[in-house]
Structure 1
Amino acid sequence: MPMYQYRGRSREGNEKTGKIKANTEREAREALKRKGIAIFELNHLDSLLYKEITLFQRIKSKELVVFLRQFSTLLKAGISLVNSIQLLAEQSTNKLLKQTLLEVEEEIREGVSFSEAAEKHRKVFPPLFTNMVKAGEAGGNMDEVLERLADYYEKQHRTKQKVISAISYPTVVGIVSIGVVIFLLSVVVPTFAGMFTSFGADLPPLTAFVLSAGNFMQRFFWLFFLINGLVAGGIWYAKQNKKYKYYLDYALIKLPIFGPVLQKAAIARMSRTWSSLFETSVPVLQATSIVEKVVGNEVLAKVIRDARKSLERGESIASPMEEHWFFPPLVTQMVVVGEKTGSLDQMLGKIADFYEAEVDEATERLKTMLEPILIVVLAAVVGVIVAAIAIPMFEIFDTIG
């Protein structure tokens, strides 16, 4: 919570100085007034010592959806915009959202529109939100716009979670499998190597290979962590650079198993965003620019940039899509129909519904299919290592016998 330093006079006429915590300057003044202090000077302490750390705080999708639904309900109930924001700020448990809403409320009281005030807080309110709110202010249907935004973010969150779930399961199992193999090769296998050497028996090729692998792993296990660190660093760097992000996104889309799921999820996100913006009467060029920024896939973003250029020339939005491999014929045909009939928002909504359902089915199939495959692969690898150790042991026991 921000800190303010004040200088004033008490009811008894004594000069008072000190510090007070308050969300806004107005709140600080009201608190001091209740204490009977007439303020001469009030300054916001902007030093890092007095700032509340919000660097790693963020608004979760669920929190944003709840906020939007409550906001819409309050407006529909006839509560004013300022009072609605004040109520939501008071009950918010997220410090970043609470502080932002109080600042927005103060700006609105000073005569700034809600969309303009929200636009200054991009960490909480993305461009999609502010542009749709701006359209809602112009059309006088703010409550409906907020309800649509809640539906939009809810569907986006659900689709995103499905994709994350489908990818995270095999990733976790894969990491555990690699960890088990490394442990066996670097800890368990070397303990048997000395025993086999002391007997001087000829080792089967499989055992010799596994022992060599164990010896290598024991000496160079750090390579595994180094390679993983380099890969993670490379991916992070590629995401920061638009040029390299294009190639990273291209490679992900072309993956044999996960690629089609990521492609469908990207099309669903694009269609849902476009549809939501068109439904709230956001200008088509502005809506296209917003979609380009929020779609999250640079390959798709490039096609949307081409679509925007096509619109600027007075041509069809579907032309660049028809020429690109990213879009299946179903998408381009429905966009063409939407443009010809003037129902592009409805067509894009239907595309989003279709591909969101496709993502749901695809992720369920992936989890069902990958689980037994990963278990069989892990069992096979562990089985080979165990067999490589067991076979020469049986031969040694026969020799001793």
Structure 2
Amino acid sequence: MANKEKKQLQFLWEGKDKSGNNSKGRICADSISKAKTALRQQGITPKKVHRESSFTLFDKKKAAVKPVDIAFFTRQMSTMMKAGVPLLQGLEIVANGVEKDKLREMILGIRNDVNGGSDFSQALSKYPDYFDALFCNLVQAGEHSGALETMLDRIATYKEKLESLKAKIKKAMTYPAAVLVVGILVSAILLVKVVPQFETIFKGFGADLPAFTRLVVQLSEFAQDWWLIGLAASIGAGLAFAKAKKRSQKFADSVDRTMLKVPVIGSILHQASIARFARTLATTFAAGVPLVDALDSAAGASGNVVYRNAILQIKNGVSTGQSLQSATVITGVFPNMATQMIAIGEEAGSLDMMLSKIADFYEEAVDNAVDNLSDLLEPLIMVVLGVLVGGLVIAMYLPIFQLGSAV
């Protein structure tokens, strides 16, 4: 069995650089002695080297590596290489600057592989959870063309645009759910905690309660008896839904199709899928990837089964000699504006530029739609909460008002 690679530690150091100026920073190494050796190799005379404390109340260092971290890493590497920093040194500098342990270990692992003779793309491919085939293929294309820094810049832009789009979609999906959850929680608290207090008062009236009040009291009794089961059922249903969507492709596809039909949300998802298709295709095609292979990547990045199937249909059409524009029209899911711009790009020989403009247009459309949805939901939240809370309050005080009028 191969020995596990020893986990590198992080050390804080203070010392003097080659010019004799005081300097300080972080460095990763297996031990203090190796940290000092590494600093001397960099032309730094270390004075103080000590291990950085790993204790924090909310430890962000152990947090999982997210796609936004990969986008930031790519942007940093692009900036380093454009500034003339060698690849190995750039990886070392970026690794020393990140906070998350997992991300740092991964970058240092990539650096070690490159230092051992592997291509950058080969080193990245060892971490498929973070660097997919598209990412590695684009880096490989950049290495072969001798323009790795330019390719990293394109990839960074692509990842940043994609993550920004995902954040907008998440916002659009989360806001309505938040309104619903807040309304349910407020109603549940009132029914379980507040209404019973009024119910004890009503029993001393010795008179029939109004129908609306009786309904609310019955709902309160039901909520007190079944709230725990209802909560467990809701959590169970949520977990079952997530598990079914993850394990059953057929179920996940049906959810995708259904979401596209939801008012407002469906329109945002349509526009987001078109933006992803155009952005991915523009990036890969501009990198010199053959159109058929680029369409494969675009299908995987579309984010919805309807568009994934449509793009694969386009790929089959292009493979048999159809133009991209005519193959896109046949699918019936892409708007006329997008197909016409694709046709112009093909005729002018600037397809990648035209696809980028399509992506920019639909990304802006998603941004505007999400902002409009937020503006629409803000008064809706007030109305929903006002009806729920106001209705319960009226139901509770109605008997008191009737009693006062009778007196």
Is the 1:170–1:374 Cα contact (8 Å) retained in structure 2? no
- Structure 2 CA distance for aligned equivalents of residues 55 and 292 of structure 1: 33
Q: Would you say 1:356 and 2:363 are equivalent positions?
A: yes
Match of 1:115 in 2: 121
Partner of residue 304 from structure 1, selected from 297, 311, 330: 311
- Structure 2 CA distance for aligned equivalents of residues 181 and 32 of structure 1: 59
- Structure 2 CA distance for aligned equivalents of residues 181 and 276 of structure 1: 49
Q: Would you say 1:75 and 2:78 are equivalent positions?
A: no
Match of 2:144 in 1: 138
SS of 2:324 mapped into structure 1: coil
Specify whether residues 224 and 375 from structure 1 end up closer, same or farther in structure 2 by C-alpha distance, changes over 3 A only: farther
Root mean square deviation, CA, Å? 2.9
Deviations 1:300-359 (A, max 9, x none): 111122222222323233445424453222222222333344322122111101011111
Specify whether residues 104 and 205 from structure 1 end up closer, same or farther in structure 2 by C-alpha distance, changes over 3 A only: same
- Structure 1 CA distance for aligned equivalents of residues 323 and 396 of structure 2: 67
Match of 1:294 in 2: 301
Percent of paired sites with the same residue: 33
Match of 1:105 in 2: 111
Partner of residue 225 from structure 1, selected from 218, 231, 240: 231
Partner of residue 266 from structure 1, selected from 256, 273, 280: 273
Match of 2:132 in 1: 126
5+ long unaligned stretches in structure 2:
8-26, 38-60
Structure 1, 106-115 or 264-273: larger mean CA deviation: 106-115
Q: Would you say 1:377 and 2:384 are equivalent positions?
A: yes
What TM-score do you get using the length of structure 1 for normalisation? 0.81
Match of 2:393 in 1: 386
Match of 2:53 in 1: none
Q: Would you say 1:92 and 2:92 are equivalent positions?
A: no
Specify whether residues 342 and 235 from structure 1 end up closer, same or farther in structure 2 by C-alpha distance, changes over 3 A only: farther
Match of 1:39 in 2: none
Structure 1, 229-238 or 114-123: larger mean CA deviation: 229-238
Partner of residue 248 from structure 1, selected from 250, 255, 263: 255
Per-residue deviation, 1:90: 3.2
- Structure 2 CA distance for aligned equivalents of residues 325 and 234 of structure 1: 34
Per-residue deviation, 1:365: 0.8
- Structure 1 CA distance for aligned equivalents of residues 330 and 194 of structure 2: 56
Specify whether residues 280 and 293 from structure 1 end up closer, same or farther in structure 2 by C-alpha distance, changes over 3 A only: same
Q: Would you say 1:322 and 2:303 are equivalent positions?
A: no
SS of 1:251 mapped into structure 2: helix
Q: Runs of at least 4 residues of structure 1 off by over 6 A?
A: none
Partner of residue 180 from structure 2, selected from 174, 177, 197: 174
Structure 1, 275-284 or 93-102: larger mean CA deviation: 93-102
Specify whether residues 186 and 246 from structure 1 end up closer, same or farther in structure 2 by C-alpha distance, changes over 3 A only: same
Partner of residue 349 from structure 2, selected from 328, 342, 345: 342
Specify whether residues 201 and 306 from structure 1 end up closer, same or farther in structure 2 by C-alpha distance, changes over 3 A only: same
Per-residue deviation, 1:33: 12
- Count of aligned pairs: 363
Specify whether residues 226 and 362 from structure 1 end up closer, same or farther in structure 2 by C-alpha distance, changes over 3 A only: same
Per-residue deviation, 1:227: 3.9
Per-residue deviation, 1:278: 0.9
Specify whether residues 254 and 227 from structure 1 end up closer, same or farther in structure 2 by C-alpha distance, changes over 3 A only: farther
Structure 1, 289-298 or 275-284: larger mean CA deviation: 289-298
Deviations 1:174-210 (A, max 9, x none): 2122111111112222232343344332222211221
Partner of residue 6 from structure 2, selected from 3, 6, 10: 3
Is the 1:58–1:123 Cα contact (8 Å) retained in structure 2? no
Is the 1:207–1:389 Cα contact (8 Å) retained in structure 2? yes
SS of 1:57 mapped into structure 2: coil
What TM-score do you get using the length of structure 2 for normalisation? 0.80
Match of 2:56 in 1: none
Structure 1, 346-355 or 158-167: larger mean CA deviation: 158-167
Specify whether residues 111 and 212 from structure 1 end up closer, same or farther in structure 2 by C-alpha distance, changes over 3 A only: same
Structure 1, 271-280 or 340-349: larger mean CA deviation: 340-349
- Structure 2 CA distance for aligned equivalents of residues 211 and 106 of structure 1: 68
Structure 1, 375-384 or 340-349: larger mean CA deviation: 340-349
Is the 1:242–1:298 Cα contact (8 Å) retained in structure 2? no
